[in-house]
Amino acid sequence: MKCIRCGHDCKFKERENGVCPSCNRRFAFEPRKGDPVSDALFDAAIKSVSAEGQLRWGVESLYYDVCRRLYRGKRKPVGCLVIVGIICAVLLTGAVLGYAALALGLIVLVPLFFWLLFVRLRCVVWLTQEKFNKLYDRWLAAHGPDKSVIVRKPQVQSPLAVESDLGDYSFDRAIICDRARTVDLLLANHFHFENNCAVLSVEGYPQGPFETVRKMLKRNPRLEVFALHDASEEGCKLAWRLANEPDWFQGQARVTDVGLRPCHEKPFRGLFLKSETRVSAGGGITEEEAKWLSRYKLELAAIRPEQIVKRMFRAINKKIDAETRATAAARFGGFETTHDSSSDGGSASGDFGESGEDSKRQFDGLLEQDVDSFSSDASDSDGGADGFG
């Protein structure tokens, strides 16, 4: 195992005491003693979430990057190939010695094969949050905190000071998040400055300027709102809440859902969390989404910070034409259309408290879904290092 400080590659006998024999500094982990990670894996994960030190990041992003690396290691098909080879050997032996040996071998090995296949395809996280926290504490004890990690500052700013500071600003765009930690990520990387937009959480964070900024946003007739969230019950309802609740932007601003939804799940297998509640359709969630959300959750932190920043840049700067808006309206929030053959025109019904074309106009005009911005990695042209260093 190599020391990440001095690069010395030492054997286990040389480091049994947990110290590098070259630089005499302590290792945080020892895989030979049962640790699921090494210092090199943890260091690589930190470099990944910080974009080689260019971006600020939260510990939750490190958790998912470590889980991603562990999942890659466990899903290698070597084990399955070995079992297939053993089964082939058993079949050959059975052909020579008789069917009794064949039956016994299949009874033992076939269930084992399918168990390994299940493990390989398992989509929830391999490492629990509690185990990761213990590993991270050991990393801090051995290496100290990284200078780019986000540490939340106490919310002590007075409302009067906030009011006077914000009087000179005007935001035509706002990003509303379902988690305070997502707000921290965008603010720490100066996304709000680079894109002249407000960033708030739906539950009232940052506490100091929250109410002042929300009132200012509600007064802006040109405002565009973007809902950024996890693929969870609360997250998938966020855009609908923002577009329909009087405390937010009911009838005032166009709301675009740019968060994670079940349709984005494929690239994140191995990073899901188990859902703890049964989810029902409605409030921005379709029947199909409700089934998935009743089994799993997918946190936005599973996406590396660099990609979150770049994908948000792409999302809020995208020009959505009428055809894209109509397609999104047909797919989002459980909106359904039904045709009444007894009348000259169709009728529409959904979760919006209205019927007919009035409801469809409200949906088309005030609530949209952008599934593309978070469906693939963003490139350097989508807000590169020059824009978000």
Q: What's the Cα-to-Cα distance from 37 to each of 15, 71, 221, 383, rounded to whole Å? A: 16, 12, 52, 33
pLDDT of amino acid 370: 72
Q: Are 58 and 181 in contact (CB under 8 A)?
A: yes
Q: Are 305 and 181 in contact (CB under 8 A)?
A: no
Number of Cα atoms under 13 Å in the Cβ half of residue 385:
6
Q: What is the pLDDT along the chain (389 residues), one digit of tens a residue?
A: 999 999 999 999 989 899 999 999 999 999 999 999 999 999 999 999 999 999 999 999 999 999 999 988 665 544 555 555 666 666 566 555 556 655 666 556 666 665 555 555 578 898 999 999 999 999 999 999 999 999 988 766 555 445 555 555 678 999 999 999 999 999 999 999 999 999 999 999 999 889 989 999 999 989 999 999 999 999 999 999 999 999 999 988 999 999 999 999 988 988 999 998 999 999 999 999 999 999 999 999 999 999 999 999 999 887 555 455 555 554 444 333 222 333 333 322 223 233 333 333 333 346 677 767 666 665 554 443 332 22
The Cβ of residue 144 has, within 10 Å, a number of other Cβ atoms equal to 8
Residue 200 CA to residue 184 CA, distance in Å, equals 9
Q: Which CATH architecture has domain 160-336+348-388?
A: 3-Layer(aba) Sandwich (3.40)
Residue 271 CA to residue 122 CA, distance in Å, equals 10
Residues 6+ apart with CB under 8 A from 175: 186, 191, 197, 198, 199, 200, 225, 226, 228, 312, 316
Q: Contacts from 36-40 at CB under 8 Å and sequence distance 24+?
A: 36/70, 36/127, 36/131, 36/135, 37/66, 37/69, 37/70, 37/135, 38/1, 39/1, 39/3, 39/4, 39/139, 39/142, 39/143, 40/1, 40/2, 40/4
Peptide bond into 206 cis (omega under 30): yes
Q: Are 199 and 266 in contact (CB under 8 A)?
A: no
Residue 128 CA to residue 172 CA, distance in Å, equals 40
The Cβ of residue 225 has, within 10 Å, a number of other Cβ atoms equal to 25
φ/ψ region of 298 (left if φ > 0, alpha if ψ in -120 to 50, else beta) reads beta
pLDDT of amino acid 117: 54
Residues 6+ apart with CB under 8 A from 335: 329, 348, 350, 351, 352, 360, 363
Residue 256 CA to residue 197 CA, distance in Å, equals 14
φ/ψ region of 356 (left if φ > 0, alpha if ψ in -120 to 50, else beta) reads left
* Burial degree of 388 (CB within 10 A; 0-12, 13-18, 19+): buried
